[in-house]
Amino acid sequence: MKAIVAVLTSWGAAGVFVLAILDSAGIPLPAAVDALLVATAAVNPAQAFWCATLAVAGSVTGCLGLFYLARQGGQAYLDARARGARAQRLRAWFHTYGLITVFIPCLLPVPMPLKVFVLCSGALGVSPRRFFFTVLAARIPRYFGLAFLGAQLGDNSGLWLKQHAPHLAIFAVLLAACLAGLIRFVARRKATPGYSPVSQPSK
């Protein structure tokens, strides 16, 4: 695997695309895409945002591949193994909050589990459209931010990320809590009698 990563690194922007597919498809390549994207942007700042675009495209492609793989056999497996009230609660929880567990690891460049939550999204029947836009909304700021960082700081980018890793981890916890609170708030509003998303003009 190290040899493959070395070859992809030599490919530059194309290597970022392929590496992003492999990483998001579940092949363990911790921080390899981030590091290669930053390094490529540092060497050639003019190509930084093009590399970020390819990283986003590759990551979304890899995540969708893993998602549909789990979707094909995962639901049948869960139906056979997990029945009853507990299984229903798990499905209900994941349909309400599960995409937060996908969004946060996709967004922040700190070591966080992602593959298991992508698999759960497919196996538990999450909408492919919702999953796609969740991954896209997270990967765009992450990879474009890293590309900008590499273009601006060059070789110091890795040190900056290492120094701010604790802050990013704290931000991840706070963001997850805020998103969960927002989801609960919206759900309660919708459950309120007479609630309508479109206000009606008074007569």
The whole-number pLDDT of residue 159 equals 83
Task: Give the relative orientation of helices 2-10 and 32-43 as an angle to the nearest 10 degrees.
Answer: 30
Average pLDDT, the chain: 83
Domain ranges of the chain: 2-189
Which amino acid, 83? Answer: R
pLDDT in tens, 135-181: 999 999 999 999 999 999 887 888 888 888 888 888 888 998 998 88
Count Cβ atoms below 10 Å from residue 74 Cβ, excluding itself. Answer: 19
Measured CA to CA, the distance from residue 97 to residue 24 in angstroms comes to: 21
The whole-number pLDDT of residue 157 equals 83
pLDDT at 19 over 70: yes
Rounded percentage of the chain residues whose pLDDT exceeds 90: 31
Residue 111 CA from chain centroid, whole number: 12
Measured CA to CA, the distance from residue 42 to residue 92 in angstroms comes to: 44
pLDDT in tens, 37-87: 998 888 889 989 999 999 999 999 999 999 998 888 766 656 555 555 666
pLDDT at 29 over 60: yes
Which residues, 6+ apart, have CB-to-CB distance to 174 below 8 Å?
none
Measured CA to CA, the distance from residue 112 to residue 118 in angstroms comes to: 13
Measured CA to CA, the distance from residue 48 to residue 38 in angstroms comes to: 8
**8 A C-beta contact, residue 23 and residue 33:** yes
pLDDT at 28 over 80: no
- Which H or E run contains 93? helix 85-107
Q: Is 61 left (phi over 0), alpha (psi -120 to 50) or beta?
A: alpha
pLDDT in tens, 87-111: 677 777 887 888 998 999 999 887 7
